[in-house]
Chains A and B, each alone.
Chain A
Amino acid sequence: MEVVTLLREEHTARLRFAREDKPVNVLDEACMAQLEAHLEALEAAPPRCLVLESGMPGCFIAGADIDRIAAVQDATEATRLAERGQALCRRLEALPAVSIAVVRGACMGGGMELALACDHILAVDERATKLALPEIQLGIHPGFGGCVRLPKRVGWIRAVEMILSGKPVDARRARRIGLAALSSAPEQTEQGIQYLAGKGKAHRGRPGPWWLALSPAKALFFRQVEKKALARFRHLDIEAAYPAIPATIALLKEMIGLSDGIAYAREAASLGRLAVTPCCKNLIRVFHLGNALKKQEAVRRGREAVSRFRQTSVYGAGVMGSGIAWVAAKTTDVDLHDVAAESLARGMKSLGALARRDARRLQRIRPVLDHSGLAQSDVVIEAVLEDIDIKRALWQEVEARVSAQCLLLSNTSSLSVTAMQEGAAHPERIAGMHFFNPAPKMPLVEVVAGEKTAPEAVDQTAALAAAWGKYPLVVKDKPGFLVNRCLMPFMVAALQLIEQGQKPEHVDGALKHFGMPMGAMELADRVGLDICLHVGTHLADAFGARFSMPAWLAQMVKDGLLGAKSGSGFFIYRGGKQQQLNSKLGQYLKLSSADRESDADISTHPDGAWPDQDIVDYCLLPMLVEALACLHESIVQDARHLDAAFIYGVGFPPFRGGLLREFAHRPRDALRQHIERLGLTPPANLEVLDDFA
């Protein structure tokens, strides 16, 4: 099948990328081979002008074939792959023709590197046009010469930023920073090509700024870059977790002042080393997991209806409610309802901080103290108190005012959607849409169908989540749904550990060192100890004692130690920031050692402290057992969704590829014994892990 077509006109030749087997253009084997053949023909009879363009809507070239990278097992093989791409780009660059890449739609990774090899980039100014080198997000760096060519267009400082963040730029910004020679309206593309053809071949000198050639300045600059890039990963062994970040920084630093030929060789070699790291394989896997959720059938079916939604009403302006309002404001106007002006003010103020980056979005949110505006709403989301009577009463109030088609969604984390449908005039439009805290940041949304929920309502909820940039996961209406049900045994295990004398900061440190965004105690504090207790009790009622919270936690809640919101829980919080361990903790349980002033962020190893790995296993194995139980009970349909859920819902470290993936590498027998040693029953479907190795 032809995926690149060479079209010749009088003085102009066009390389047109278009294919029918995939929704986007990809530089896979077929594409590379055809491109090489066409280049040979072009070298034999060079045109005056060569145009690279796409025949696919919304996409120039989406990148290299990441499945090919995922399959590579050997560093030299990966290096050869990069060298092949580099050679292709260099031949394109060396053609006597003036080459112009007409970028319309997504231009990512390898596609961007191909465009960079052209003399000029013409960025067509429309919404879909995005240029980026997002390789870092997959645990590698550009390998087709992008690390050499990008600085020549935008200078080292911007290039380092773009390569290390992987963030896209739009057409206008591409023009402003010099990445594109021109940005034009879609109708002006042909004139744009003519104009750029008239400019002749580009001659690029050494990239600036000049002072980066001075080694002290270079050292200082890259020290800052390193500091910024690694700030998020303070607790991790970065070389083991995300080796691509230090490797990319080192590569870029080394390249300054190097001749192009040597720089290309270094780039290819470095890519070879990175492509075989487990981090790269896992990140590619996670990328696919997320895409599977975003592009699931339910989303496709609901998309059309949801695209007409203009207004969302959110009830409850607490942390969740206001966060949801912010998410919904991405595509609709939002009415944020609450009965108390103070909570609305608090909610709006918390959004005010987010609005520094997007002021227009905040203006789409209207704080409301009554029920006004419901008649115009397309969807109502409630995030009020977790009390079934309050929710039922609210739905009755709301149903009396909304239009017949309005979708009613509950952000409940523990109540049954089916129970909520009781007494509703139209229960078929009530569904669950469970966000994770903080809603603007956490990508997962659990979509819950009650007994009477119509399939269209489920589709629309999933599509709505996807439209808001979230990953919808359809789960069964059982207590705790998936994520909270699996998270509770994790927390219970962590509490047992500190009961047994492990220091809370040690437990948290071990988990953070493993890669969790926060430790179990901090998570409990952030969620609120009262909420943890409530959810735990609720789940224990439904599933048994493995969810029971210890009595001393109940006492803490009773005494007003609620976690971050009350200023103290396991730790002290000041202005939302975690401080030292709460000294009152000794009143509730026996703490092993007297020195409590050690930093909560550093895991220490005093006598009696367990090794990190044991602590992590102790906390995560109950979670794994519960996750497999959920799969067995069909709470989720697909085992792969379990991995996606914990990565996108609770921040399970993506570089590990997922919870199941993490344990799939352990010998089954040892794993079974380990689970038994913890006093748990090994799940019967443990062989599910076989697919995850």
Chain B
Amino acid sequence: MPDLNSVGMREVVVVAAVRTPLAKANGAFDRLSAVELGALAMRELMARSPISRDDVDSVIVGNVIQPADAANIARVIALNAGVPRAVPAHTVHRNCASGMQAVTDAAQMVMAGRAEVVIAGGVESMTHAPLLLHDEVRAAMYRLSRARSVKDRLRVLGALAKARWKPRVALMEGLTDPTVRLNMGQTAEILAREFSITRREQDDFALRSHQQAEAAWQAGFYDDEVMHVFAPPSFAAVHRDEGIRSGQSMEALGKLKPVFDKPLGTVTAGNSSQITDGAAMLLISHREKAEAEGWPILGYVYDWAYSGCDPARMGLGPVYASHRLLQRAGLAMTDITRMEINEAFAAQVLACLKAMESDAFAREHLGLEQAPGAPDMDRLNVHGGAVALGHPVGMTGARLIMTLLRQLQHDTGGGMGVATLCIGGGQGGAVLLGSEPWKS
């Protein structure tokens, strides 16, 4: 869309994309590590795409809960998946946007002519978020290794016995903002209160997510996007996303108790994204290369924007990021055919929509006279979102880009889309995508 050729930059294309199904934490993938999940998806991507593995110039993987036994997980995944040793790999971390960051970094490399073909994606095994020891245990263990005399040892052992042995849960700590000391769910509660979003509105939105995801699977939309995983120990094929509840109802949702603000809050497990495991991988190149090699083009990555906001209201990140993105491209919300706003929380998506429509918010926070406007509901998260599918934090950004491109290619016959998500710590990320299916 933006005229890149005029500034000598290359048009970034996505040649192939595939993801694993999303499995509930401690569910179908509880025996698969993040490395294994990533390698499964990366190997599948290379097998499905027409490129040879020797064509790959670089590998970038986003991951949030980085396993202690796989430093620079991107490299470990690449080697396990059969990417040649000469190909470098690095890991990126922008919290919930890590997978998106991997793709936009790859796009930046390709755009600037620093690489021809890059594998980019995201991976997360929330199942395997570690349990940690308190720092006083670490300190005592160290002193024990230094203690020489029996008396010293006994003293340190005494200290060790008194130390707190109950583990810290890394998953919970990772989902808590250390600067404002709020859990992500609590930031959603703030938005629900400030934008007057009722429990019923949130549950309605959650139900819609399940129904649309269910319908998309029924219609076969996800058949090609999602690979089959044969997960140990049973090795039964997993294809469908595990979190979708076919029979989800308002009654069932209504019975759930608030999790983050008991008892008066409105955010429940049912209207929040699910804790899940999964991996998504994309093959990024540029138009000239793809056309010269005869590779298919799934779509284009035109531009992207990241922006910061109040950490206590991190859920509004998409409003800022997508505004910046559209402004850069000179586009209005009405130009956008499809939009994906990640459903971290139903309340948070609904708050974003209200903020986008609010003139007051636009004046105060975006420096606009008039609200930029929100996408119509029939253009938003059409095939369900994280409430139904799940939100493996480091992976979701890559998934949003992949699923949006497939929508633009298969559902709408082209057009432009924006994939955007909120980022813990008070940021937003947004990517402008397009597809020209008549060309490929």
Give the distance to chain B from A379, nearest Cβ to Cβ, in Å.
16
Give the distance to chain A from B228, nearest Cβ to Cβ, in Å.
6
Given A333-B82, A372-B47, A376-B47, answer yes or no on A363-B237 (Cβ-Cβ < 8 Å): no
Q: Does A475 contact B (CB under 8 A)?
A: no
Per a CB cutoff under 8 Å, which of A342, A344, A348, A366 touches B47?
A: A366
Q: Return chain A residues, CB-CB under 8 Å to B43.
A: 333, 366
Q: Return chain A residues, CB-CB under 8 Å to B6.
A: none
Q: Does A631 contact B (CB under 8 A)?
A: no
Q: Does A369 contact B (CB under 8 A)?
A: yes
Contact B235 A348 (CB under 8 A): yes
Q: Within the assembled complex, what's the spacing in Å between the Cα atoms of A109 and B236?
A: 46
Given A341-B228, A369-B228, answer yes or no on A349-B234 (Cβ-Cβ < 8 Å): yes
Q: Within the assembled complex, what's the spacing in Å between the Cα atoms of A341 and B230?
A: 9
Q: Return chain A residues, CB-CB under 8 Å to B50.
A: 375
Contact with B along A312-348 (1 / 0, CB 8 A): 0000000000000000000001010000011011101
Q: Return chain B residues, CB-CB under 8 Å to A352.
A: 232-233, 235
Give the distance to chain A from B429, nearest Cβ to Cβ, in Å.
31
Q: Does B39 contact A (CB under 8 A)?
A: yes
Per a CB cutoff under 8 Å, which of A344, A345, A363 touches B80?
A: A363
Q: Return chain A residues, CB-CB under 8 Å to B82.
A: 310, 333
Q: Does A455 contact B (CB under 8 A)?
A: no
Per a CB cutoff under 8 Å, which of B48, B80, B234 touches A372?
A: B48
Q: Does A367 contact B (CB under 8 A)?
A: yes
Which B37-78 residues have C-beta < 8 A from chain A?
39-40, 43-44, 46-48, 50, 52-53
Q: Return chain A residues, CB-CB under 8 Å to B239.
A: 341
Which B228-271 residues have C-beta < 8 A from chain A?
228, 230, 232-237, 239
Contact with B along A352-383 (1 / 0, CB 8 A): 10000000000100111100110110000000
Q: Within the assembled complex, what's the spacing in Å between the Cα atoms of A375 and B51?
A: 9
**Closest residue of chain A to B232, judged by CB?**
A352
Q: Within the assembled complex, what's the spacing in Å between the Cα atoms of A341 and B228?
A: 8
Which B183-241 residues have C-beta < 8 A from chain A?
228, 230, 232-237, 239
Q: Within the assembled complex, what's the spacing in Å between the Cα atoms of A363 and B31?
A: 13
Contact B47 A373 (CB under 8 A): yes
Q: Return chain B residues, CB-CB under 8 Å to A335.
A: 47
Q: Within the assembled complex, what's the spacing in Å between the Cα atoms of A281 and B19?
A: 59
Per a CB cutoff under 8 Å, which of B228, B233, B234 touches A367?
A: B228
Q: Return chain A residues, CB-CB under 8 Å to B46.
A: 376
Q: Return chain B residues, CB-CB under 8 Å to A344.
A: 228, 230, 235, 237
Q: Return chain B residues, CB-CB under 8 Å to A376.
A: 46-47, 52-53
Q: Return chain B residues, CB-CB under 8 Å to A372.
A: 44, 47-48
Q: Does B36 contact A (CB under 8 A)?
A: yes
Count residues of chain A with CB under 8 A from any CB of chain B. 20
Given A367-B230, A369-B228, answer yes or no on A341-B44 (Cβ-Cβ < 8 Å): no
Q: Return chain B residues, CB-CB under 8 Å to A369.
A: 228
Contact with B along A622-663 (1 / 0, CB 8 A): 000000000000000000000000000000000000000000
Q: Return chain A residues, CB-CB under 8 Å to B36.
A: 363
Q: Return chain B residues, CB-CB under 8 Å to A366.
A: 40, 43-44, 47
Given A333-B82, A363-B80, A368-B47, answer yes or no on A345-B232 (Cβ-Cβ < 8 Å): no
Q: Within the assembled complex, what's the spacing in Å between the Cα atoms of A241 and B312?
A: 79
Given A344-B230, A345-B234, answer yes or no on A363-B39 (Cβ-Cβ < 8 Å): yes
**Closest residue of chain B to A403, judged by CB?**
B52
Q: Return chain A residues, CB-CB under 8 Å to B39.
A: 363
Q: Within the assembled complex, what's the spacing in Å between the Cα atoms of A373 and B53?
A: 11
Majority secondary structure, B binding face: mixed
Q: Return chain B residues, CB-CB under 8 Å to A363.
A: 36, 39, 80
Per a CB cutoff under 8 Å, which of B40, B53, B230 touches A345?
A: B230
Q: Within the assembled complex, what's the spacing in Å between the Cα atoms of A126 and B227?
A: 40
Q: Within the assembled complex, what's the spacing in Å between the Cα atoms of A335 and B52?
A: 16
Q: Within the assembled complex, what's the spacing in Å between the Cα atoms of A349 and B36?
A: 17
Which A364-423 residues have C-beta < 8 A from chain B?
366-369, 372-373, 375-376
Q: Within the assembled complex, what's the spacing in Å between the Cα atoms of A450 and B233?
A: 41
Q: Return chain A residues, CB-CB under 8 Å to B228.
A: 341, 344, 367, 369
Q: Within the assembled complex, what's the spacing in Å between the Cα atoms of A250 and B36?
A: 48
Q: Within the assembled complex, what's the spacing in Å between the Cα atoms of A375 and B49?
A: 10
Q: Within the assembled complex, what's the spacing in Å between the Cα atoms of A349 and B237?
A: 11
Give the distance to chain A from B128, nearest Cβ to Cβ, in Å.
16
Which A66-116 residues have C-beta < 8 A from chain B?
none
Q: Within the assembled complex, what's the spacing in Å between the Cα atoms of A333 and B53?
A: 13
**Closest residue of chain B to A369, judged by CB?**
B228
Give the distance to chain A from B298, nearest Cβ to Cβ, in Å.
16
Contact A341 B237 (CB under 8 A): yes
Q: Within the assembled complex, what's the spacing in Å between the Cα atoms of A550 and B237?
A: 41
Contact A349 B80 (CB under 8 A): no
**Closest residue of chain A to B35, judged by CB?**
A363
Q: Within the assembled complex, what's the spacing in Å between the Cα atoms of A335 and B43?
A: 10
Q: Within the assembled complex, what's the spacing in Å between the Cα atoms of A335 and B82?
A: 12
**Closest residue of chain A to B52, judged by CB?**
A376
Give the distance to chain B from A45, nearest Cβ to Cβ, in Å.
50
Name the residue in B44, B230, B233 with the highest tally of chain A Cβ atoms < 10 Å from its Cβ: B230
**Closest residue of chain B to A364, judged by CB?**
B82
Q: Within the assembled complex, what's the spacing in Å between the Cα atoms of A164 and B324?
A: 74
Q: Within the assembled complex, what's the spacing in Å between the Cα atoms of A112 and B82?
A: 38
Give the distance to chain B from A349, nearest Cβ to Cβ, in Å.
4
Contact A349 B48 (CB under 8 A): no
Name the residue in A333, A372, A373 with the highest tally of chain B Cβ atoms < 10 Å from its Cβ: A372
**Closest residue of chain B to A367, judged by CB?**
B230
Contact with A along B335-358 (1 / 0, CB 8 A): 000000000000000000000000
Q: Return chain B residues, CB-CB under 8 Å to A342.
A: 237
Give the distance to chain A from B223, nearest Cβ to Cβ, in Å.
11
**Closest residue of chain A to B49, judged by CB?**
A372
**Closest residue of chain A to B237, judged by CB?**
A341
Q: Within the assembled complex, what's the spacing in Å between the Cα atoms of A352 and B232?
A: 8
Give the distance to chain B from A359, nearest Cβ to Cβ, in Å.
9
**Closest residue of chain A to B47, judged by CB?**
A373
Per a CB cutoff under 8 Å, which of A310, A345, A373, A375 touches B236?
A: A345
Contact B47 A345 (CB under 8 A): no
Given A366-B44, A373-B47, answer yes or no on A348-B52 (Cβ-Cβ < 8 Å): no
**Closest residue of chain B to A335, judged by CB?**
B47
Give the distance to chain B from A648, nearest Cβ to Cβ, in Å.
30
**Closest residue of chain A to B45, judged by CB?**
A372
Q: Return chain B residues, CB-CB under 8 Å to A373.
A: 47-48
Q: Within the assembled complex, what's the spacing in Å between the Cα atoms of A368 and B234?
A: 17
**Closest residue of chain A to B229, judged by CB?**
A367
**Closest residue of chain B to A375, judged by CB?**
B50
Give the distance to chain B from A339, nearest Cβ to Cβ, in Å.
12
- A-B pairs with beta carbons under 8 Å apart, 20 shown: A333-B43, A341-B237, A341-B239, A344-B230, A345-B236, A346-B235, A348-B230, A348-B235, A349-B234, A352-B232, A352-B233, A363-B36, A367-B228, A367-B230, A368-B47, A369-B228, A372-B48, A373-B48, A375-B52, A376-B47
What would 10 more interface pairs be, CB under 8 Å, given A345-B230, A368-B47, A375-B52?
Answer: A333-B43, A341-B239, A349-B234, A363-B39, A366-B43, A367-B228, A367-B237, A372-B44, A375-B50, A376-B53
Interface residues of A (CB under 8 A from B): 310, 333, 335, 341-342, 344-346, 348-349, 352, 363, 366-369, 372-373, 375-376
Would you list the 10 A-B pairs with minimal beta carbon distance, nearest first? A373-B47, A341-B237, A348-B235, A349-B235, A372-B47, A367-B230, A372-B48, A348-B230, A345-B235, A345-B236
